[in-house]
Amino acid sequence: MVAALQQRLQVGDELVEWDEDRIILHPTYHDYQFSAKAFHVGRGLSQQARQLYRMAAERGFPSFWNTAEWRLICLGPRPAAPRESSAAVAGETETGLPYDEPYVAVFENMDTVVFFNGCGNEAQLWQQFAGHVLPTREIEELRVFVRPQMTSESMILADSIGLKAAQPDKIKTIAYLLAQTVALHFYETEVDTMLRAFQDINADMERTGELVAAMAKGELLKMVARNNVMRTGILSSKIGLTKRFDAAWRDAECSRIYEHLREEMEITRRYEDLEVKFDLIQDNLKYFLEIIQNKKSDFLEYLIVILIAAEIFVSLFDMWTRDAFSG
């Protein structure tokens, strides 16, 4: 029997397959890239963000969610007809963000910005609207795509996340986790730098038996303050590592994305590692401060002994001079 000849033809949005007996229609999907890229800007973010907000307001660029800690801005004109998508919050319909414009999410509490659909132009966009060079020290990327033909609200793959629509809560969840991991990486870098400094000091002490003269008490106190600031920033709401994101409480799809990204980025393990390193730094600081304090105490004791000896000498000299003149 001769095998049936199969042929395929792309017609519009469907793949048509036919042979001598049948015709089969296979729907094809159009994925719209909406990938995310996070940058840690640092302490100067607030000032840069003010300029970004001002320029966005002047040009009529829309903001889709605004709080005291974060804001999402579309870096393009307001769309005339935003696309609708289903939402799971209180049975209401939620407007999906247009996925043909670039966006930037600003997290001032984490000193971090997250771009969506930047297409590699993130540095130019930040320079244009915020007026500053975008740092490239800590960067995190995630492929995000929008597929309107999806039957489910979201799809989690090994290296990407698919969305039926770019709903604000889902975009907010993705941006929040990316900002969190970038901010966490910044703290990891700072802590590792402090640990390397202590390793060098300990190596010098092992070789010479003395604390390095350049390590003054003032410098150690600055390191104590720095360690406390970083630890407080992580434990407090600044990064929010110890509390669940609000959108993950309200929406099941957001919760699924949140848990996946949190596990994929190893947030919990990295936080626990940081706690161990913070404790190690604190132990080193306490040890070196005690050494400096003991040295100061030894110096004061020697000074007291010298003063007592000098007082005895003066008394003896006074007694000798009196005897000499009286005799």
**Contact present, 191 and 278 (Cβ < 8 Å):** yes
Lowest model confidence (mean pLDDT) among 137-146, 149-158, 174-183: 149-158
Q: Which of 88, 62, 57, 77 is nearest to 173 (CA)?
A: 88
Is the distance from CB of 97 to CB of 82 less than 8 angstroms? Answer: yes
Rounded Cα gap, residues 130 and 33, in angstroms: 24
Q: How far apart are CA 207 and CA 251, in angstroms?
A: 59
Q: Which pLDDT belongs to residue 238?
A: 63
CB contact at 8 A, 39 and 116: no
- The alpha carbon torsion through 71, 77, 78, 82 (nearest 10 deg) reads -100
How confident is the prediction for the chain on average, in pLDDT? 77
- For the chain, domain boundaries: 1-29, 32-179, 181-303
Supply 227's token pair. 């360690």
CA distance 189 to 137: 10
- pLDDT (0 to 100) of residue 29: 60
Distances (CA, A) of 107 to 65, 137, 175, 186, 206: 12, 17, 9, 14, 44
How many other CB atoms are found less than 10 A from the CB of residue 234? 20
And the tokens for 131?
Answer: 């007026």
CA 143, distance to chain mean position in Å, is 18
Closest-CA residue to 73 (of 44, 106, 51, 41): 106
User: Which of 77-81, 96-100, 167-171, 180-184 comes out lowest in average pLDDT?
Assistant: 77-81
pLDDT above 70: residue 144: yes
Contact between 86 and 150 (Cβ < 8 Å) = no
Residue 154 DSSP SS3: strand
Going by pLDDT thresholds of 50, 70 and 90, the confidence category of residue 84 is very low
Residue pointed to by tokens 């080193």: 284
Q: What pLDDT was estimated at residue 26?
A: 44
Q: What is the average pLDDT across 245-251? A: 77
> 18-34 pLDDT, tens per residue?
445 554 444 556 788 88
210 backbone dihedrals φ, ψ, rounded to 5°: -130, 150
Average pLDDT over residues 230-255: 74
Please state which of the ranges 35-49, 207-221, 250-264 shows the lowest mean pLDDT. Answer: 207-221
The CA-atom distances, in angstroms, between 3 and each of 19, 20, 21, 303 are 10, 10, 12, 106
Tokens representing residue 92 in the block: 């209401």
Mean pLDDT of 281-305: 71
> How crowded is residue 86: how many other Cβ atoms within 10 Å of its Cβ?
13
**Hunting for tokens 């390590």 — which residue is that?**
215
